[in-house]
Amino acid sequence: MKIKIADLEFEPLISESLIAERTKTIGQQLNADYPNSVPVFVGVLNGSFLFIADLIKHIDIPCEIAFTKLASYYGGTTSKLKIREDIDLIVDIKDRDVIIIEDIVDTGNTLNYLVEKLKLRKPNSISVCSLLLKPAALQNPIDELKYVGFEIENEFVVGYGLDYQELGRNLNSIYKKV
């Protein structure tokens, strides 16, 4: 069923049950990959808030959860080169295993910026888990991107945390622009 958000129309792309299934699998992979560590999960607000909340329910190793807030779209449907930093990560990540949780990697500029910034704080390791990836839009490969929920076409999506003009984050599934 098509929905309208502000001036745009969207149609279903990834269902709630598919997201839940994939999230569980990624959680199990993370448990297996960090058996002797107490990793710090770093959620990138706003878009990752639902994904990290659901993912963390499947994590059964000891872990910490922290947030940072970056923005690159500012309400439109295309990525801006200039990244706006709204909330810094305040946890000390020196010698820690850091797992960045993203909603979507598009050009990869936001993630590159964050990874390079956090590397300066000398963590033991950094890996990235993104619910969505648009491979065709990625401008530079990101070695740290180890966990991806779904690869999608180069299309604009909303729902499950992702917004269009700050709307649509509350949708339980993911929709693409018609």
- CB nearer ligand IMP, residue 27 or residue 108: 108
- CB nearer ligand IMP, residue 23 or residue 72: 72
Candidate list 97, 103, 106, 163, residue with the active-site label: 106
Beta strands 64-71; 40-45: pairing state:
parallel
**Per rule CB under 6 A, is residue 42 in the interface with ligand IMP?**
no
The binding track of 145-174 with respect to ligand IMP, each residue x by CB under 6 A or -, is -----------xxx---x------------
Query: Is there a catalytic annotation at residue 88?
Result: no
**Per rule CB under 6 A, is residue 144 in the interface with ligand IMP?**
no
Residue 80, judged by CB atoms within 10 A of its CB (0-12, 13-18, 19+), counts as middle
Angle between helices 16-33 and 49-56 (to 10 degrees): 60
- CB nearer ligand IMP, residue 34 or residue 164: 164
Determine how many CB atoms are found less than 10 A away from the CB of residue 135: 11
**Per rule CB under 6 A, is residue 39 in the interface with ligand IMP?**
no
User: CB under 8 Å to 67, separation ≥6 — which residues?
Assistant: 42, 43, 44, 45, 87, 89
User: CB under 8 Å to 36, separation ≥6 — which residues?
Assistant: none
**Per rule CB under 6 A, is residue 68 in the interface with ligand IMP?**
no
**Per rule CB under 6 A, is residue 107 in the interface with ligand IMP?**
yes
Q: For the sheet containing 3-5, what is the strand order?
A: 3-5, 8-14, 174-177, 157-158
**Per rule CB under 6 A, is residue 127 in the interface with ligand IMP?**
no
**Per rule CB under 6 A, is residue 43 in the interface with ligand IMP?**
no
- CB nearer ligand IMP, residue 34 or residue 131: 131
| C-alpha dihedral (19, 23, 24, 27), degrees to nearest 10 | 180
Q: Among all residues, which ones are annotated catalytic?
A: 106
Binding site residues, ligand IMP, CB under 6 A: 47, 72-73, 79, 102-111, 156-158, 162
